[in-house]
Amino acid sequence: MNNRYLWLFVAFALLIVLLAVGLTRDPREIPSPLIDKPAPEFVLPRLDNDQPFTPKDMAGRVWLLNVWASWCASCRDEHPLLVDLAQKKLLPIVGLNYKEVRGDLSLDATKLALEAEKREAAARANLWLATHGNPYTLSILDLDGKVGIDYGVYGVPETYLIDETGIIRFKQIGPITPETLEKKLLPLIAQRDQKTED
């Protein structure tokens, strides 16, 4: 076919290919480098009794680590889903409360002493859990976000599925949606459970 306008198609096709490649390159869609790597170690105080908690305490179990904060609006969207999940008692869910005080820009934490900040954070976290329901087997406080950095948290909420050997199997950036729960998280959990039973 000899048509002097055919080059338009070529240009258009190139543009579409570019845009399609661009879609796969979405910076928010890049899998976490933490996947299939050991969950970074840390020691943080528990919200309920101030006892230290480390991921080692969960060894031998498949568990979820959910990063949240009371100032985080998307956490509110996600929360009912977590409460539902907790009721199914499929696996323990650990809540990592991320920069409860410092992350809230409407407060100024720079002048607060560490103890005072911890009290404030615990009060705010407890109030939030009392209002919205508590899906967490236990919660821990990461006041300065250092653990968050080790986990590569770049937006709250985030959720990690950690298996019985302490390896991160799945990471959700942003709120868990019913779709990701159904299609990714639950199948992974089922698969893991089977392995533990074997």
Partner 1 sequence: MKTRHQRLLLIAAALAALALIVALVFSALKENVAFFYSPADIKANKAPKNKLFRVGGQVEVGSLKRQEDGVTVRFIVTDGIECVPVQYKDVLPDLFSEGKGVVAQGRLNDDGVFVAQEVLAKHDENYMPPEAAQALQNAHAEGIGRSRNRCRIPGA
Partner 2 sequence: MIPELGLFSLILALPVALCTGILALWGAQRGQPAWIALARSGTVALALLVGVSYLCLTWSFLQNDFSVLYVARQSSSSLPLIYRVAGVWGGHEGSLLLWLVMLTGWAALARFYSRALPDALRARVLGVLCLVAAGFLLFILFTSNPFLRLIPGAAEGRELNPMLQDPGLVIHPPLLYMGYVGFSVAYAFAVAALLSGQLDAAWARWSRPWTLAAWAFLTLGIAVGSWWAYYELGWGGWWFWDPVENASFMPWLAGTALIHSLAVTEKRGSFKNWTVLLAVSTFSLSLLGTFLVRSGVLTSVHAFANDPARGIFILAFLVAVIGASLLLFVWRAPKVGLGGRFALVSRESLLLVNNLLLAVATGAVLLGTLYPLIVDALGIGKISVGPPYFNAVFVPIMAPLLFLVGIGPFARWKAASLGEILRVNKWTLGLAALAALTLPLVYGGWRPLAALGVFLAAWIFLAATLHFVRQARATQGGGGLLASVLKQSLHFWGMHLAHVGLAVFVAGVSIVGAYEAEKSVKMAPGDTVGIHAYRFRFLGVQSVEGPNYQALRGEMELSENGRAPRRLFPEKRFYHHSAMPMTEAAIDAGLWRDAYVALGEPLDRERPDGEWVVRVYVKPLVDWIWGGAFLMALGGLLALLDRRYRSRRAATQENTP
Binding site for partner 1 (CB under 8 A): 27-28, 30, 32-34, 37-38, 40, 72-74, 99, 102-103, 105, 144-145, 149-150, 152, 154-156, 174
Under 8 Å between Cβ of 120 and 165: no
Cα separations in angstroms, 75 against 101, 111, 145, 161, 164? 15, 27, 17, 17, 26
**What are the beta bridge partners of residue 142?**
98
Partner whose footprint covers residue 77, from partner 1, partner 2, none (CB < 5 to 8 Å by kind): partner 2
Binding test (CB under 8 A) with partner 2, winner from 36, 41, 108, 182: 108
Is 88 among the residues that bind partner 2 (CB under 8 A)?
no
DSSP assignments along 124-137, one per residue: HHHHHHHHH----S
Instruction: Work out how close the CB of 168 gets to partner 1 at its nearest, in angstroms, rounded to a whole number.
Output: 10
Q: Do 61 and 92 touch, CB atoms closer than 8 A?
A: yes
Nearest distance from C-beta of residue 33 to partner 1, angstroms: 3
Nearer to partner 1, 71 or 136 (CB): 71
Our finding on whether 27 is near partner 2 (CB under 8 A) is yes
The CB-side HSE value for 63 (13 A sphere, CA atoms) comes to: 24
Closer residue to partner 2, CB minimum distance, 7 or 194? 7
Tell whether residue 111 is a contact of partner 2 (CB under 8 A).
Answer: yes
Give the distance between the most distant pair of CA atoms in the chain.
79
- Region of 26-34, 36-44, 48-56, 183-191 interacting with partner 2 (CB under 8 A): 26-34
Q: Whole-angstrom Cα distance, residue 129 to residue 186?
A: 24
* x/- map, 36-75, partner 2, by CB under 8 A: -----------------------------------x-x--
Return d(Cα 176, Cα 173) in angstroms, integer. Answer: 8
What single-letter amino acid sits at 50?
Answer: D
Binding residues (CB under 8 A) for partner 2: these are: 3-6, 8-9, 12, 16, 18-23, 25-29, 71, 73, 76-77, 80, 103-106, 108, 110-111
